[in-house]
Amino acid sequence: MATMHDVARLAQVSVSTVSYVLTGTRPISPATRAKVRAAMTELDYQPNAMARGLASRRSRILGLLLPMDERGLGATETAFVTGAAAAASAVGYHLVLSPVGGGGDLADLRRLASQRMFDGVVLMEVKLADERVAALQEAGVPLVLIGRTGDTAGLSYVDIDFGQTVREAVAHLVGLGHRRIVYVNHSAQTLTRGYGPALRTRDAFVTAMTGHGLEPVMIPAEDSAAGGRAALAAALARAPGLTAVLAMNETAIFGILGELTARGLSVPDDVSVVSMVTSPQVAELATPALTAMTSPGSAMGRIAIEALVRHLDGAGDERHQQLLPCALEIRGSTAVPRSRPPTGG
């Protein structure tokens, strides 16, 4: 393994000159630069990442802090992660996947932050009141959130525009002529835990429905096919004449579809279904393919990383706060409702 010393000797310059060629922090004459470059090539020189990190106090490593509970990541979260990894790699940073146990072990987080291994950090699955944010800020680690806390003052974040998403989804259904629309959200527990997307979509749904002069009915569902089935049963009980279901729960949606079929209700003829914040791949899995609000997917991870890097690589202290829309993609699961409500037939 060649070191900078070897390159310097071969090129007959000093070590610092080699460093300046590498980093460009001081002007170097073309002739010298060429000599150094040649030596590097000849020796197949690669700078040692650790040494560089120690001396420059910049590791060029970014942390992606993601909660790692039992059921892994959904398609949408996976897209964030891969998008972030690709973006980091594109700008010459490494991305460390750091599973921070959901069970708020702040101490671990503090330790991690103090090791100075990460130049900056992207925090996923942020709750409305998230103590991790404060812990990271105290440790002085540049931070970008995917999602956002209740009070976003002084924070950088990228999040989905849930207001827009729900509004468009509801508008689509109402435009088709639906009046009795049920919203299947995440579980009740998730709501009480203060999970932003669940709360924000709930509020947006109420606003959107009342805006159309309709009654908002929300049913919570566990994140599983069984949860979806149960939720649909509950929905039919609460709103017997329902003609459309709006779902936020990428996992439960398949249970919902299954239960509809099991009850002899056809999609979209009897009941229209819109899946929100969903990846096209998942939407295509269903039969019929789901009309969905397509999540920004990997773009979100990319934007978060780019904002973080911009913040690190200089610029001012300006915060990056951005909401990304979900795009309505109409597939086969929505249609004009039957004149007679399904339970009346």
Partner DNA sequence: AATGATCGTCGAAGCGCTTCGACGAAGCGG
Partner DNA sequence: CCGCTTCGTCGAAGCGCTTCGACGATCATT
Q: Look up residue 127 and give its two tokens.
A: 């709750």
Residue 211 binding result from DNA, its own copies, none, given CB thresholds of 5 to 8 Å by partner type: none
Q: Which is nearer to DNA, 43 or 214 (CB)?
A: 43
Give contact residues for its own copies (rule: CB under 8 A). Answer: 1, 44, 46-51, 53-54, 59, 61, 64, 68, 71-73, 75, 78-79, 81-82, 85-86, 89, 94-99, 111, 114-117, 224-226, 251, 254, 257-258, 261-262, 281, 284-287, 289, 298
SS3 277: strand
- Residues interacting with DNA, by CB under 7 A? 1, 3-5, 12-17, 19-20, 22-23, 25-29, 31-33, 45-48, 51-52, 54-57
CB of 91 to DNA, least distance (A): 17
Q: Select 54 or 336, whichever has its Cβ closest to DNA.
A: 54
Q: Which does 247 bind (CB under 5 to 8 A by kind): DNA, its own copies, none?
A: none
Cis? peptide before 268, omega within 30° of 0:
yes
Evaluated on CA atoms 71, 324, 207, 192, the torsion sign reads positive
Question: Do the Cβ atoms of 220 and 191 come closer than 8 Å?
Answer: yes
CB of 21 to its own copies, least distance (A): 17
CB 119 → its own copies: shortest distance, Å? 11
**Least distance (Å) between residue 39 CB and DNA:** 12
What secondary structure letter does DSSP report for 239?
Answer: -
Partner from its own copies, DNA, none binding residue 14, C-beta < 5-8 Å depending on class: DNA
| CA dist list (Å): 31 to 8, 36, 39, 150 | 14, 9, 13, 57
User: Which does residue 146 bind out of its own copies, DNA, none, counting CB within 5 to 8 angstroms by kind?
Assistant: none
Contact partner at residue 257 from its own copies, DNA, none, CB < 5 to 8 Å by partner kind: its own copies
- In the complex with DNA, which residue's Cβ is closer, 92 or 344? 92
Q: Closest CB to its own copies among 54 and 315?
A: 54
Q: Shortest gap between Cβ of 315 and DNA (angstroms)?
A: 17
CB 204 within 8 A of CB 166: yes
Q: Which does 114 bind (CB under 5 to 8 A by kind): its own copies, DNA, none?
A: its own copies
String of DSSP letters for 232-287:
HHHHHHH-TT--EEEE--TTHHHHHHHHHHHTT--TTTT-EEEEEEE-HHHHHHSS
Nearer to its own copies, 92 or 344 (CB): 92
| End-to-end alpha carbon distance in the chain | 78
Q: Which does 26 bind (CB under 5 to 8 A by kind): its own copies, DNA, none?
A: DNA
Q: Three-state SS across 84-141?
A: HHHHHHHCCCEEEEEEECCCCCHHHHHHHHHCCCCCEEEECCCECCCHHHHHHHHCCC
In the bound state with its own copies, the residue whose beta carbon lies nearer, of 86 and 234, is 86
Question: What is the spatial distance between Cα 126 and Cα 161, in angstroms, rounded to a whole number?
Answer: 15
**Cis peptide bond upstream of 288, omega within 30:** yes
Q: With CB cut-offs between 5 and 8 Å by kind, which of its own copies, DNA, none does residue 59 bind? A: its own copies
Q: Which amino acid is at 210?
A: T
Contact between residue 122 and residue 77 where contact means Cβ atoms under 8 Å apart: no
Residue 151 neighbours by CB distance under 10 Å: 10
* Residue number, 115 or 343, with CB nearest to DNA: 115
Answer positive or negative: Cα dihedral of 64, 66, 68, 72.
negative
Residue 115 CB, nearest approach to its own copies (Å): 4
Identity of the residue, 156 or 279, whose beta carbon is nearer to its own copies in the bound complex: 279
